[in-house]
Amino acid sequence: MSVPLKAREMLKEIHVVNGREYCCYIKGNCSDDRTADLVFFNGLFSGASSWAYQTRMPALLKHYRLVMFDYPCQGGSAAVTEGMTAFDLLQELTVLLTQLRVKKPLLIGHSVGGMLGGIMA
């Protein structure tokens, strides 16, 4: 997409990593001239919707592409049917961010999302 999304417009995409579906939400400036991508890591039991307030801030929407996703077993993402470690999740999230073509990521997280984002950084 070459222009910023409208303030209320949000893209919902399903991406598959290692056979597991991740539900992703994208909002804001999707053009190549965006400043960077803000990647939001939610808490363990909160899902991507926990970032609803931040996704309404006009300054963020104008300059950044906001990227949120549901972890496995959250929101629109697939359930986990076999064992999965935090390391497995980090590897899959790295692939997911590559699939989403994240540019100059700024990682933001709370709770377990803060830990995951910190390790990924």
8 Å CB contact between 21 and 12: no
Q: What local confidence, expressed as pLDDT, does residue 6 receive?
A: 64
Distance (Å, whole) CA 118 – CA 90: 11
Q: What local confidence, expressed as pLDDT, does residue 1 receive?
A: 46
Q: Is the pLDDT at 22 greater than 80, yes or no? A: yes
Q: Is the pLDDT at 34 greater than 80, yes or no? A: yes
47: number of Cβ within 10 Å:
19
Q: What local confidence, expressed as pLDDT, does residue 21 receive?
A: 92
Q: Is the pLDDT at 3 greater than 70, yes or no? A: no
For the chain, give the mean pLDDT. Answer: 87
Q: What local confidence, expressed as pLDDT, does residue 4 receive?
A: 61
Give strand ranges (E) for 2-118: 10-17, 20-28, 36-41, 64-69, 105-109
54: number of Cβ within 10 Å:
15
| Closest residue by Cα to residue 66 from 101, 98, 36, 86 | 36
Instruction: Calculate mean pLDDT across residues 90-111.
Output: 94
DSSP state of 29: B
The region of weakest confidence among 15-19, 47-51, 61-65, 96-100 is: 47-51
pLDDT 10s digits, 46-93: 777 777 777 888 889 999 999 999 888 887 887 887 888 889 999 999
Structure tokens at 8: 């209320």
Residue 77 burial by CB count (10 A; 0-12/13-18/19+): exposed, middle or buried? buried
